[in-house]
Amino acid sequence: MNTLLLTGYEPFGSYETNPSARIAHALDGETVGEYTIVGRELPVVFDEALPMVINEIDAHAPDSILSTGLMPEREAISVERVGINVRDAGDVPDNAECSPVDTPVDRDGPTAYFATVPIRELVAASKDVGVPARVSNTAGTHLCNNILYATRHYIETNDLSIRSGFVHVPFTHDQVARRDEVSPSMSYGAMERSIRAMLNTLSSDSNVE
């Protein structure tokens, strides 16, 4: 049985909940296709997220890693194409009150890394179960982009045979209901259904040995 590491992020900024963490907790320990899922909640702290992923790699030797996070204002599930070597928190510091501006994720790293999961197949899998999804060409410059880039850099520099990628989820309906502004949202059930379909696709993909 292969192992897949599924990560989500803890709440951050003004957001009291984070559906990505809820999904990771819900699927932890489940079997999806040929995968045993290891679901973990990552800290929204630039210098702490990657060390936790590395610990999970050492403990579980996953074949694939799918990281997830919240991206407000997105209207659909977004499968990210690329992570860039930039940290810029903007007006939302991390949960350790760190606000990097125009700093690299890794000073010795390349400009960018492409995700190595089959992004279009993941989008199709989500659509097949009735959940809107699309390929995204920007993961931002906050913690989500950071873990996409940093995970790929760690895999490359340590010559590991692990596929990795990142998926953004929108607000849930209940998150928007608690806010004054009206924003795009999606049911939590649809999000979990989408991620399960993506995991099944990763499991059955011909690159999984």
Question: What CATH number does residue 197 fall under?
Answer: 3.40.630.20
Q: What is the pTM of this model?
A: 0.95
Q: Is the pLDDT of residue 192 over 70?
A: yes
In the set 41, 142, 153, 168, the catalytic residue is 168
Domain that holds residue 51: 2-204
> Does residue 92 fall inside a structural domain?
yes
60 noted as active-site residue = no
> Does residue 209 fall inside a structural domain?
no
> Does residue 101 fall inside a structural domain?
yes
> Does residue 18 fall inside a structural domain?
yes
Q: What is the DSSP string of the chain?
A: -EEEEEEEE---TT-S--HHHHHHHHHTT-EETTEEEEEEEEPS-HHHHHHHHHHHHHHH--SEEEEEEE-TT--SEEEE-EEES-B--TT---TT-----SB-S-TTS-SEEE--S-HHHHHHHHHHTT--EEEES---SSHHHHHHHHHHHHHHHTT---EEEEEEE-EEHHHHHTSSS---EE-HHHHHHHHHHHHHHHHHSTT--
Number of domains comprising the chain: 1
> Does residue 117 fall inside a structural domain?
yes
209 noted as active-site residue = no
> Does residue 38 fall inside a structural domain?
yes
CA atoms of 143 and 133, how far apart (whole Å): 21
**12 and 94 Cβ atoms separated by less than 8 Å:** yes
In the set 144, 153, 192, 209, the catalytic residue is 144
Q: What percent of the chain has pLDDT over 70?
A: 98
The stretch 29-51 carries a mean pLDDT of 97
CA atoms within 13 Å, Cβ hemisphere of 175? 22
pLDDT at 206: 42
The stretch 102-131 carries a mean pLDDT of 98
User: 3-class secondary structure for 118-131?
Assistant: CHHHHHHHHHHCCC
pLDDT at 209: 41
Q: Is the pLDDT of residue 178 over 90?
A: no
pLDDT at 208: 39
> Does residue 27 fall inside a structural domain?
yes
> Does residue 174 fall inside a structural domain?
yes
80 noted as active-site residue = yes
In the set 41, 80, 142, 153, the catalytic residue is 80
The stretch 44-55 carries a mean pLDDT of 98
Q: Of the given ranges (69-73, 113-117, 128-132, 187-191), which has the lowest mean pLDDT?
A: 69-73
